[in-house]
Amino acid sequence: MKPVLESNGYTEQFILGEGDLRFAVKDTLDIAGYRTQAGCPALATSPVARSHARVVSQLLANRCVVTGKTTLHELAFGVTGINPRCGTPVNPRFPALIPGGSSSGSAAVVASGEVDFSLGTDTGGSVRMPAACCGVMGLKPGYGVLSRQGVMPAESSLDCVGVFTRDAAVLRQVMTRLSVPVDTPLYDLPPMAFVLAAEPDIDACILSALLQAEVSPQEITLPLLEEAHRAGLTLISHENWQALGPLLASGAVSPDVASRIRAGADVSREALEQAEKVRVAFSEHLDAVLEQTPLLALATLPELPPTLQEAQDPLTVVNLTRLVRPFNLSGHPAITLPVGEIDGRPVALQLVARKGHDGLLVQAAEWLTARRRH
């Protein structure tokens, strides 16, 4: 992380007061007077932002101090966080592994301790995935809970501003300052359902961590989970083509990202209509599950995070968002928490709650982390 962006010449110094929280901002959110470049040379000469993104303004008005902007997977369209043109953030705790995308820098600066929290965006797992890779917490609120005014792209049916922290108590403070209600700490955790959906050793690691916290979830299945993942891919492909397609004419978008953006032009009306049908069906099924069991648990990543070298092969990262993307499609709030390691690679638990119950995820994070054995 640079003090905002080195290319923007940002040199302002900050004085922290008692109770102030330091935060960094993914470079898809506007900060007045600076370019929003989204880790892409095609935006290097874009106009500077005239005002802060609304969520940034809310935080600045509530004893939070922005200390910089963070880099990301180019144009927020990738899962590894690798950005050869604008720099790939080092994963502080697991330097051989990918930092995760697309909000790679925002996860890394929290994991390194440079800030108390950071903002990212999550269209298909882009907060939860890098949080899982870097061993920190990442909250994706329900769709529309936090304002997207001043966030790139301007239109999205999937994207949410999200928050990274190392500490559940800080997460409570941040959400409260963003006017998201969080009730008093839980005395008991409400009933939890668990979906076996990752590699067996990952699911076993998560279940062992829950057992240590004296949580015995009910095992269930989500029959539409894979369909919801594919539907989310269809919609993000179409929406990114609409939002980012004009940038391709510059020739300054990397070939890998450009090819994925271009593929969105081929998404048919029939495919979009089917994706929307899956959105409705999956959301309704999830609502019914959560009505009976207030918390749904599953792995954040279906497999262990790859190394930077392994991730050079695109086929190794295809399915990494399989368990996070469905909840962008449905619009439910979801959080990821670190729970352990396997062979020196992090394992993370994902919790999902009913729409409008974002605060429960903060309470659950507090409850579980207080009982984690170190």
* Active site residues per annotation: 26, 102, 126
Number of H helices, E strands in the chain: 10, 10
Q: Which residues contact 95 (CB under 8 A, 6 or more apart)?
A: none
Of 73, 59, 79, 68, nearest to 8 by C-alpha is: 68
Which H helix or E strand runs over 308?
none
Q: Can the peptide bond before residue 153 be classed as cis, meaning omega within 30 degrees of 0?
A: yes
> Which CA distances in Å does 261 have to 23, 102, 247?
30, 15, 10
Q: Is the peptide bond before 330 cis (omega within 30 degrees of 0)?
A: no
Give 209-212's long-range contacts (Cβ < 8 A, gap of 24+).
209/339, 209/340, 209/349, 209/372, 210/297, 210/349, 212/371, 212/372, 212/373
Residue 23 in contact with residue 115, Cβ under 8 Å? yes
Count the neighbouring beta carbons within 10 Å of the beta carbon of residue 259: 11
Burial 307-321 (b: 16+ CB within 10 A, else e): bbeebeeeebbeebb
The pair phi, psi for residue 223, each rounded to 5°, is -60, -25
The DSSP bridge pattern shows strands 334-342 and 137-140 to be antiparallel
In this structure, what token pair is assigned to residue 308?
A: 């930077």
- The 3-class secondary structure across 44-71, one letter per residue, is CCCCCCCCCCHHHHHHHCCCEEEEEEEC
First to last CA, the chain: 29
- What 3-state DSSP class applies to 28? coil
